[in-house]
């Protein structure tokens, strides 16, 4: 089954590897007995589903969640059940891929024009003259 990410992009579940580990937190006595935390591993570097541009940006955004080999590891332990933690890990991976697919706006560096620079300097001179007149010196 495929996980929809964008209208033109989906991820087959076969590329995800989910294992369950012991989790701290809520769960009562079960917390020491049942492995409820889900650890999702996704090999982003070798995934045939991702375009190159998204793959590169995804590994940048993943930061410490990505290993040197390009495997993204997400650990979900917010909930008390394996199923909910698995869904949470998948949701977080999908959100990360969507963020990587978003193209940042291209910003063209500009400089202030001559008139804007002059207005700035005139404003500074005006403030300086106001402050200068506040300290009226009385010489007797």
Q: How many domains does the chain have?
A: 1
Is residue 140 one of the residues assigned to a domain? no
Tokens in use for 104?
A: 């940042």
pLDDT digits (tens, 9 = 90+) for 35-93: 888 899 998 888 888 888 888 988 888 888 888 988 999 998 888 888 999 999 999 99
Of 74, 21, 17, 19, nearest to 46 by C-alpha is 17
Residue 5 is part of a domain; what is its CATH number?
3.30.160.20
Q: Per the domain annotation, does 127 fall within a domain?
A: no
The Cα–Cα gap between 45 and 48 comes to: 9
pLDDT in tens, 94-138: 999 999 888 888 889 999 999 999 999 999 999 999 998 887 666
Q: Tell me the whole-structure pTM to 2 decimals.
A: 0.70
| Dihedrals phi, psi of 48, to nearest 5 degrees | -75, -10
Place of tokens 């998948």: 90
- 137 domain-assigned: no
Q: Is the dihedral of CA 117, 118, 123, 125 positive or negative?
A: positive
Residue pLDDT, tens place only, 2-48: 888 888 888 888 888 888 888 776 666 666 777 888 899 998 888 88
**Structural domain includes residue 104:** no
- Indicate whether 138 belongs to any domain: no
Domain that holds residue 75: 1-99
Answer whether residue 107 is part of any domain: no
Q: Is residue 124 part of a domain?
A: no
Within-domain flag for 80: yes
**CA angle at residue 57 from 37 to 21, to 5 degrees?**
10
């Amino acid at each position: 089954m495929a996980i929809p990410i964008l209208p033109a992009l989906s991820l087959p579940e076969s590329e995800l590897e989910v294992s369950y580990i012991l989790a701290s937190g809520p769960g009562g006595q079960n917390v020491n007995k049942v492995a409820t935390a889900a650890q999702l591993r996704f090999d982003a570097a070798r995934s045939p589903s991702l375009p190159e541009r998204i793959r590169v940006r995804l590994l940048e955004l993943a930061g410490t969640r990505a290993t040197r080999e390009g495997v993204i590891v997400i650990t979900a332990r917010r909930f008390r059940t394996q199923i909910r933690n698995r869904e949470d890990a998948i949701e977080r991976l999908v959100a990360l891929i969507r963020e990587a697919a978003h193209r940042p706006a291209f910003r063209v560096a500009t400089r202030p024009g001559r008139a804007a620079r002059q207005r700035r300097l005139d404003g500074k001179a005006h403030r300086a003259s106001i402050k200068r007149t506040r300290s009226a010196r009385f010489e007797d």
